[in-house]
Amino acid sequence: MSRQRKVALVGNPNAGKSALFNALTGARQKIANYPGVTVERKSGRFVLPTGEPVEMTDLPGAYGLDPTSPDEEVTSKVIRGAFEGEAIPDVLVIVLDASNLEQHLVFAQEVLALGKPSVVALNMVDLAERDGLVLDAAVLAEELGVPVIPTVAVRRRGLAELGEAIAAAGTRHPGPGLTDLGPTERRVAAHAMAHAAILSESRQHRLHASLDRLLLHPWAGFAVMLAILFVVFQAVFAWATPFADGIEATIGALHDGAQAILPESMLRDLITEGVIAGVGSVLVFLPQIVILFAFILALEASGYMARAAFLMDRLMAFVGLSGRSFIPLLSSFACAIPGIMATRSISDPKDRLTTILIAPMMTCSARLPVYTVIIGAFIPNTDVGLGIGLQGLVLFALFLAGIVGAILVALILRRSMTKGAASGFIMEMPKYQMPRLKDMAIGLWQRAWIFLRRAGTIIFMVTVVLWLLLNFPKAAPGESQVDVSIAGRIADGLAVVVKPIGFNRDMALALIPAMAAREVAVSSLATTYAVDAGDGEDEQAAELGDQLKARWTLPMALAFLAWFVFAPQCMSTIAVTRRETNGWKWPAFMLGYLFALAYLAAGATYWIAVAAGL
Ligand SMILES: Nc1nc2c(ncn2[C@@H]2O[C@H](COP(=O)(O)OP(=O)(O)OP(=O)(O)O)[C@@H](O)[C@H]2O)c(=O)[nH]1
Ligand SMILES: [Mg+2]
């Protein structure tokens, strides 16, 4: 029996390899409208029109076979059969962006020079057509010596033809090799080939050109970017409210229902105080997370994010990073873990290390519940003029605080520990596109699912453990349950350390389980107060926001927010940092400096707020 043949997708970044991979194999690899999305190889099964199943591999985009970054190295190794534990691919599918042909043909020639059976997927022909480019695939096939199949990955066009060409490629000898060409000669050849293949070209990208002039303008572009961010944060508060209220009401009803149906017992308390109050307090934030990601996904798909990265390049260069760090840092707004993994597309090791070290300061979505619950309780829902809500403004300020902190730390690091020359930034601008509804829906569903899964697993478990620690040993009549509990005792110890920055014992208590996941800070406060309220008369547990207002002062609340801007409250981030930096040195450094920063920021916030009489 012969082994299953392997087919690998190669090409420049943003050519649509992952989109093609998804279309062929039915996988759901992340695709996005900027270069450097795929940083690892991924495999799936694809059945050729001949009925033969093959193993299809999606690779990170590359500009050449001499790797300049870890993700390019993966590609180069896989293609050459040097990747450990992986057989060399039998057929290469070279994916080209038809609307950017000249550039993409440079790498294509380098791959073809390997002399492997190859097929070219001339992808994104729809965009080329829209831009008024009519291409002749036959001319290109003639020049390259391999079949050229026009495709539109996202509309599944040309897939059958591509499958047939792949099936045939394995049995045919590769065409005339384009060997012996140097980089400059390849560029000249690419220019000639692209021109030969273009049948007609009209100037229809005028609109896009003028849009670029505005969005990439050093000042106007920046103003537009700030305005967009601002709208996003306003929307996170304003639009989520009705949905959050609905979820809150449902959870309240569940709580009352459980209270009424279940007989009075420890189990009932565990369910109402631990599971419903705790996990429920986090679930309320689902609408906000979905809204935030709807914006992020739409901005990514439209091609705007890459423009923002380009704009940021100047600022990044000033702090000693390059625009290349922008995408990893941007991903860190979802979660630092994919963000840190995305740094694999940064070629300079010191650039990369600096980016990893500052990534946790980007406000990840796990902080959103913490921020919003405190803001909701302590910041009045007033309008500061021009329809700008104060709550959204404070949220914006917290995100900004993380960014400013990251900039300062990068500045210092690049002049000391990770000193080195800033590397240049090459990034082609992706085309503007209307976000596709289906992609958006899938992306949003994935984010929502991640959030719900966290609530159902880690947040649930930590909350239950905390509830147990809060309920044992049992308090004697007249004593406060939280005071005598194991959790209360542990928190008393920690409270000594955080007292100087204005934190009370409950806040200290919330910090420990939040190391597992930041949202747990909210669920543990909810559970603590539910347990605390539970031992009085069987009063209706007040909403978490009201509890906080009754128990904390404004300076305390602000200090808590400041803490969460900086504190490395998440073990998984530390673990990923260890993996990506191959050792404990940098994660230890990260932990140390972030805790120090959090402590200082919370302390300064507290004492300034107290001095200001807040
Ligand atoms: N209009 C159109 N858009 C496409 C086509 N193929 C891909 N796209 C879009 O192009 C963008 C890039 O696609 P990806 O599949 O992420 O590109 P990639 O080659 O995997 O990029 P890297 O992983 O960064 O190397 C995405 O926004 C896709 O939706 C196509 O044929 N037509
Ligand atoms: Mg990809």
Give the pLDDT confidence of 257-307 residue by residue, as tens digits.
998 898 888 888 888 888 888 888 888 888 888 888 898 889 988 989 888
Ligand 1 atom closest to the CA of 152, numbered from 1: 31
How many CB atoms neighbour CB 72 within 10 A?
A: 24
Residues 6+ apart with CB under 8 A from 77: 83
SS3 assignment, position 424 = coil
Cα 128 to averaged position of ligand 1 atoms, centre (Å): 13
Span 101-122, average pLDDT? 91
Over residues 352-370, the pLDDT tens digits come to 999 999 999 999 888 988 9
Give CA 160 to chain center in angstroms: 33
pLDDT in the model for residue 422: 60
Cα 12 to averaged position of ligand 2 atoms, centre (Å): 10
SS3 assignment, position 416 = coil
**Nearest bound ligand to the CA of residue 11:** 1
d(CA 425, CA 345): 12
Cα 445 to averaged position of ligand 1 atoms, centre (Å): 20
pLDDT in the model for residue 178: 57
CA distances, 519 to each of 70, 105, 286, 294 (Å): 32, 47, 12, 20
Cα 216 to averaged position of ligand 1 atoms, centre (Å): 22
Ligand 1 atom closest to the CA of 21, numbered from 1: 15
pLDDT in the model for residue 515: 85
Any idea what the Cα angle at residue 464 is, between residues 458 and 469, rounded to 5°? 125
Cα 37 to averaged position of ligand 1 atoms, centre (Å): 9
pLDDT in the model for residue 218: 79
CA distances, 499 to each of 423, 508, 606 (Å): 44, 9, 11
CB-side neighbour CA atoms (13 Å) of 153: 26
pLDDT in the model for residue 132: 75
Shortest-distance Cα residue to atom 8 of ligand 1: 16
Confidence of residue 66 (pLDDT cuts 50, 70, 90): confident
Span 373-384, average pLDDT? 90
Q: Name the more confident of 517 and 378.
A: 378
CB-side neighbour CA atoms (13 Å) of 208: 17
Cα 72 to averaged position of ligand 2 atoms, centre (Å): 12
Give the residue, out of 17, 20, 28, 31, with the most ligand 1 atoms within 8 A of its beta carbon, to mutate for a pocket test: 31
pLDDT in the model for residue 347: 79
Shortest-distance Cα residue to atom 23 of ligand 1: 38
d(CA 522, CA 527): 9
Q: What are phi and psi of 216, to 5 degrees?
A: -100, 0
**DSSP string for residues in 171-194:** TS---S--TT--HHHHHHHHHHHH
Over residues 451-497, the pLDDT tens digits come to 888 888 888 888 889 888 988 888 888 788 888 889 889 999 999 99
What single-letter amino acid sits at 176?
Answer: P
Cα 11 to averaged position of ligand 2 atoms, centre (Å): 10
Give CA 520 to chain center in angstroms: 20
* H-state helical runs in 113-219: 125-130, 137-144, 159-169, 183-197, 206-215
Confidence of residue 1 (pLDDT cuts 50, 70, 90): very low
pLDDT in the model for residue 89: 93
Ligand 1 atom closest to the CA of 22, numbered from 1: 15
- Read off the DSSP letter of residue 345: G
Token pair for 93: 């599918």
pLDDT at 398 over 70: yes
Span 505-527, average pLDDT? 88
**Nearest bound ligand to the CA of residue 42:** 2
Cα 52 to averaged position of ligand 1 atoms, centre (Å): 26
Span 343-350, average pLDDT? 84
pLDDT in the model for residue 530: 84
- Weakest-pLDDT range from 12-16, 237-241, 367-371, 501-505: 237-241
d(CA 537, CA 544): 18
Is the separation of the CB atoms in 568 and 599 below 8 Å? no
Shortest-distance Cα residue to atom 16 of ligand 1: 31
For every residue of 84-148, which 3-state class applies, written as one string? CCCCCCCEEEEEEEHHHHHHHHHHHHHHHCCCCCEEEEEECHHHHHHCCEEECHHHHHHHHCCCE
Q: What are phi and psi of 419, to 5 degrees?
A: -60, 140
* H-state helical runs in 50-92: 70-80
Cα 434 to averaged position of ligand 1 atoms, centre (Å): 13
- Read off the DSSP letter of residue 157: B
Span 146-167, average pLDDT? 93
Shortest-distance Cα residue to atom 14 of ligand 1: 16
- Ligand 1: lining residues by beta carbon, under 6 Å: 13-19, 31-33, 35-38, 60-61, 123-124, 126-127, 152-154, 301, 433
Shortest-distance Cα residue to atom 30 of ligand 1: 124
Query: 94 pairs with which residues across the strands?
Result: 10, 120
Over residues 160-214, the pLDDT tens digits come to 999 999 999 866 555 555 566 777 888 888 888 888 887 766 655 557 767 888 8
d(CA 581, CA 251): 43
Span 311-324, average pLDDT? 78
Over residues 209-263, the pLDDT tens digits come to 678 888 888 789 989 988 898 888 788 777 888 898 899 899 889 988 998 898 8
d(CA 4, CA 79): 17
Query: 10 pairs with which residues across the strands?
Result: 94
pLDDT in the model for residue 427: 61
Give the residue, out of 154, 327, 440, with the most ligand 1 atoms within 8 A of its beta carbon, to mutate for a pocket test: 154
Query: 544 pairs with which residues across the strands?
Result: none
Cα 15 to averaged position of ligand 1 atoms, centre (Å): 5
| First-to-last C-alpha distance (Å) of the chain | 78
pTM value is: 0.70
For the chain, what percent of residues have pLDDT higher than 90? 37
Q: Name the more confident of 59 and 83.
A: 59
Over residues 553-597, the pLDDT tens digits come to 999 999 999 999 999 978 889 988 998 999 999 999 999 999 999
Is the separation of the CB atoms in 15 and 153 below 8 Å? no
Q: Which residues of 138-161 are buried (b: 16+ CB within 10 A; e: fewer)?
A: eebbebbebbbbbbbbbeebbbeb
Token pair for 351: 């650039």
Q: Name the more confident of 333 and 253.
A: 253
Cα 228 to averaged position of ligand 2 atoms, centre (Å): 27
Shortest-distance Cα residue to atom 32 of ligand 1: 124
Cα 578 to averaged position of ligand 2 atoms, centre (Å): 25
Give the residue, out of 20, 37, 79, with the most ligand 1 atoms within 8 A of its beta carbon, to mutate for a pocket test: 37
pLDDT in the model for residue 537: 44
Confidence of residue 540 (pLDDT cuts 50, 70, 90): very low
Ligand 1 atom closest to the CA of 300, numbered from 1: 27
Shortest-distance Cα residue to atom 13 of ligand 1: 16
Q: Name the more confident of 384 and 437.
A: 437
Ligand 1 atom closest to the CA of 439, numbered from 1: 29
Token pair for 16: 């649509």
Ligand 1 atom closest to the CA of 62, numbered from 1: 25
pLDDT at 12 over 50: yes
Is the separation of the CB atoms in 372 and 428 below 8 Å? no
pLDDT in the model for residue 36: 74
Q: Name the more confident of 514 and 347.
A: 514
